[in-house]
Structure 1
């Protein structure tokens, strides 16, 4: 008989204390946040008070105090970009919600069987590549062969109403008076479906009992919409308007691609984000661009706060 081998002594395995598990799991996120989130934020604040060109190296920074902020606030291009940004945000943003709310109500009430397909069709522009959308509309707005100019040319030949349309093709992306309306239409077309989906989701949370009780009391459809639907949508309206406001003030991709990155004729399509980009990468002035980014942050914060005040429930409201 072979002797029984002695039991091998097991090595104690290293185990993590349960209290440390959450910190270990959060460590990768915290590390990435510090590298790609907090550090760029603090570095941009540091650059806002420096004069620096990246090609000269980090050692050639020089402290300039508030000069970058003063230069930005005195620059004519900055205030023109602010006006363009607010114009585009208002003209493209307000119609989004004025159309999305009734559109969501119609889809919610009438498209019960095909609701998912309808929502998908309206949501598709939002998830489509911005570059693809801008290139598509660049073709539609073309002076020579664009579909929009062809439709206008056909309408100009009609009796009675033909005199209300221009007889020559419109240079939508070349003439300063047409650049902002063209960009606004593209932005509206892309995001109106997104807001429709938001309001449709909010409509599905409203109890049907409220409408049934209102119908039994003799309330009309308009009264039900005004006193039940609209107040119930108020939190979602606040959320949607806030997103539209922040997105409008940060508008960059659509005007950048449609105007070739230059802002169009007389800088009529240059937004504040485009001005910041050109300051950094065209003029190689990262200090002024950083100061501009913090000025834009203040604008966004103040307008978001004002929006919060506007939608804040009044005394007696739930």
Structure 2
């Protein structure tokens, strides 16, 4: 009998090669699935990590500081609970700061959004040197807030300011831009509008350029002029952008610090705190009075105020947009 001897290293068969190839394909498919599921979260993770470090952690740590008697030099003291909040809420200066903050916010945000819409509509038209004008509206945003504050504080000076000199030349009485409540708010709101109107105009301009031109052609065929096209086509198509700008303007307007701080040489919000804002009040409590606990309490109250006003703005604009869309749908049904 003859026995067939096989070598210890047998050659791979076709079945083994097919099994290895199947394993490779299966691993590649699994890796591809994980890539599709995980990669979007990896792409957006830097934002959330940065927000956690610079946004969420300071917010939570401020809440922790607000329930302690915390000194700038001595550090953490005794636990006082909500005593800092009750003390701040009973202080007349706090309510003056709330009044000033809301007043300056309204005087700056409302005209700012309207002017930004008008400027964006002009920039969207067929202008000569449109790139120059579009870059020009962004120049005030590039200027440092300190420089803007110094220049406008000199312009609105009570005695030797340019504005009062012009008023006196035309026979009007000078205005106490630094000593009176409403004029000081108007002057600070002018500074805010100077810096941010062009920035918001470019946001509106980008949204206007994304509107399909077929809508304007259809409106033109129906006999609508430029004014009618702006209110019937442009504004309805800009509703999401308008809501975004209103919310961001609300957040920024209630956190205003540089303009009232640089409005006078002392930075105390006026002799009678007539233009002291909440952020300036936080600064005074923390760095001048060295009471970090009360400063943190004011910061948290400001956060709640911004949250409430932001939600109210969102609900109002959302309700207006939904009502207008419902009316337009009814008109379409009637025409059909």
Q: One fold, TM greater than 0.5?
A: yes
SS at structure 1 position matched to 2:262: helix
SS at structure 2 position matched to 1:314: helix
Between the aligned partners of 1:100 and 1:30, the Cα distance in structure 2 is 31
SS at structure 2 position matched to 1:229: helix
Instruction: Name the TM-score, length of structure 1 as normaliser.
Output: 0.82
**155, 159, 184: which is aligned to 2:170?**
155
The answer to whether the aligner puts 1:276 opposite 2:282 as a matched pair is yes
> In the superposition, relative to structure 1, how do residues 27 and 236 fare at CA in structure 2: closer, same or farther (>3 Å)?
closer
CA RMSD of aligned residues (A): 2.7
User: Which residue pairs with 1:71 in the alignment?
Assistant: 87
Moved more, 140-149 or 264-273: 140-149
The answer to whether the aligner puts 1:192 opposite 2:228 as a matched pair is no
Deviation at 1:170, TM superposition (A): 3.6
Matches within 5 A, 1:132-151: 132-151=147-166
User: Which residue pairs with 2:98 in the alignment?
Assistant: 82
Instruction: Name the TM-score, length of structure 2 as normaliser.
Output: 0.78
**231, 240, 265: which is aligned to 1:226?**
231
User: Which residue pairs with 1:216 in the alignment?
Assistant: 221
> In the superposition, relative to structure 1, how do residues 200 and 30 fare at CA in structure 2: closer, same or farther (>3 Å)?
closer
Could you list the runs of 5+ residues in structure 2 that have no partner in the other structure?
Answer: 1-30, 330-336
Moved more, 244-253 or 144-153: 144-153
Between the aligned partners of 1:270 and 1:36, the Cα distance in structure 2 is 26
> In the superposition, relative to structure 1, how do residues 49 and 278 fare at CA in structure 2: closer, same or farther (>3 Å)?
same
Deviation at 1:82, TM superposition (A): 0.5
Deviation at 1:145, TM superposition (A): 3.6
**71, 89, 94: which is aligned to 2:110?**
94
Matches within 5 A, 1:24-35: none
SS at structure 1 position matched to 2:140: helix
Between the aligned partners of 2:214 and 2:49, the Cα distance in structure 1 is 50
User: Which residue pairs with 1:305 in the alignment?
Assistant: 311
User: Which residue pairs with 2:145 in the alignment?
Assistant: 130
Does the 8 Å CA contact 1:119/1:197 hold for their aligned counterparts? yes
Could you list the runs of 5+ residues in structure 1 that have no partner in the other structure?
Answer: 1-16, 157-164
The answer to whether the aligner puts 1:293 opposite 2:309 as a matched pair is no
Which structure would you say has the larger Rg? 2
User: Which residue pairs with 1:45 in the alignment?
Assistant: 63
1:107-136 Cα distance to aligned partner (Å, 9 max, x none): 21142x312211211111112100111111
